[in-house]
Structure 1
Amino acid sequence: MQQQQPPGFVANREEAAERVEGLLGYAFNNRALLEEALTHSTDPRGSREATYQRLEFIGDAALGLAFASLFYRDYPDHDEGQLTALRSANTAEEKFARVAVRHGLYPLLRRYNCTDLDRIVGHFIESVSGTVTSSGDLKAPKVLPDIVEAIAGAVYVDSKFDLEKLQEVALVLCAPIITKERLYEDPVSMLNELGRKHREELVRVLKVPNVTIDASGNVLVVKQSK
């Protein structure tokens, strides 16, 4: 029995590949890698067809190195903590999930019998697009950042592990990049950065009930049992 594809799925795989290559400004030497990056780990035929999991693994690590190298070069006056904050902000799952939504990557993903996943992703897309009201604690479905990391991994492998080429692609794929200036526009990030630098002082002077600071300097609210 032929499996019915979900609504909005781009069945024409040539079109799907062209969309990604047009977005990245990168032409794959081996388009099979891109198709692998756009294949979910659900296969009704029970085959061992390659899915995005291996590429997501290498893409995750490669993007971390790409951004770390980029910020190390561009901010020579930054210490390890500041560089870590910039890298983390640009490689966070929430950031990558919104990248996937912005570029319309989920409809390009080849998947089968994923009704529940489609519903969850659809709700997230509607929420971040502002078409439905969000409760404020919406968690990004992991499949969305996975797609971004898998595509980056495919570029990295296809380019024969060329880090500079991956950096070029990452600047396009993950735009807008969170720079030093943009990072500190976020008061929560600023508070956590200050916490990391001045943890001992804050622990000593902070006497607000049910509030503490963890080893990384993050401010935490502790729920006390009655």
Structure 2
Amino acid sequence: MKDVKYLMKEINYSFLNLSNLKEALTHSSYSEGSNNKNYERLEFLGDRVLGLIIANELFLKNKNSSEGELAKKLSFLVCKSTLKKIASEIEIEKYLKYSSRIKSLDGIKANALEALIGAIYLDSNFEDTKTIILKLWKKYLKNINLSKIDPKSRLQEWCLKHKKKLPIYKLLSKTGPDHEPKFQIKVMVDTCTFSAAEGNSKQNAEINAAKKLLKEISDQ
């Protein structure tokens, strides 16, 4: 694992409390059976902080965009694929603590980036966090590709337009060991419009279910 001082240099921020940073870089698989904290609570916080900062930036810089257009841009900028790209750019995977049983870091990288944002916010303030986020997201804010909006956002848009309601996601099952779980999720719009799919996380299973349902809708 690489020294975190290089990560702090990469994001141009030095933590006052290193325990916040260490917690943000610790996956739950590493802390199994111990009292060590993992990044899940910070991920929750970072997700909300990121959403607010990006939404505020879009609101200020896109004065002629409608609410729907702003929502689409926000979805692209905070979706998992964008998060994974930015996480890879700062090489966050080199600083993570996780079990050797973990085979793929794709989903973990995105979650850890949100946790890192939460840790920065706790360690500093809103304005400092905003400065860091806008720097990391700079090229994505300049080049918003709406064709790459994640399936969940596209399905939500379709539902609001055609059904006037939001899709509902339901966990059907969780199988496998903690370090390699498998989730089955059902997404339902109404009794005639639904689909189910699996994934190695609830988020991925929801994305796969939304993607599958969108394909079924387009084939009708």
Match of 2:26 in 1: 39
2:184 aligned partner? none
- Matched-pair contact (CA < 8 Å) for 2:43–2:114: yes
Q: Pick from 117, 121, 140 the counterpart of residue 177 of structure 1.
A: 140
Matching residue of 1:126? none
1:165 aligns with 2:128: yes
CA distance in structure 1 between the partners assigned to 2:99 and 2:148 by the alignment: 39
Distance 1:157 1:28 in 2: 10
The one-letter amino acid paired with 1:106 is E
TM-score, length-normalised on structure 2? 0.64
Greater relative CO, 1 or 2 (CA 8 Å, sep 6+): 1
| Corresponding residue for residue 221 of structure 1 | 215
| Structural RMSD (CA) | 2.8
Q: Please, which of 50, 65, 72 is the counterpart of residue 52 of structure 2?
A: 65
Corresponding residue to 2:113 among 134, 148, 154: 148
CA distances 1:148-196 after superposition (whole Å, capped 9, x unpaired): 101101011111xx322211111233342233xx225x5566xx7xx87
CA 1:108–1:71 in structure 2 vs 1: closer, same or farther (change >3 Å)?
same
For residue 85 of structure 1, the aligned residue among 63, 72, 75 is 72
Q: Counting strand residues as a fraction of each chain, which structure ranks higher? A: 2
CA 26–188 in structure 1, closer or farther in 2 if over 3 Å, else same: closer
Given that 1:37 and 1:51 are in contact with CA atoms closer than 8 Å, whether structure 2 keeps it comes out as yes
Shift of the 220–113 alpha-carbon distance from structure 1 to 2, 3 Å rule, reads closer
**Residue 99 of structure 2 is aligned with which of 109, 112, 119?**
112
Where do 5+ consecutive residues of structure 2 fail to align? Answer: 163-212
In the alignment, the residues of structure 1 paired with residue 123 and residue 27 of structure 2 have an alpha-carbon distance, to the nearest angstrom, of 19
**For the structure 1 residues 87 and 188, does the alpha-carbon distance in structure 2 shift closer, same or farther, using more than 3 Å as the test?**
closer
Once residues 140 and 24 of structure 2 are traced to their aligned partners in structure 1, the CA distance between those partners, rounded to angstroms, is: 23
Identity score, percent: 25
Aligned 8 A contact 2:84 2:109 in 1: yes
Q: Spell out, residue by residue over 1:60-116, the C-alpha distance to the aligned partner (whole angstroms, 9 max, x if none).
A: 1110001001111112222211111121111000111111122211121012233xx
Give the greater-gyration-radius structure (CA): 1
Aligned AA for 1:222? E
User: In structure 2, what is the Cα distance between the partners aligned to 1:35 and 1:188?
Assistant: 32
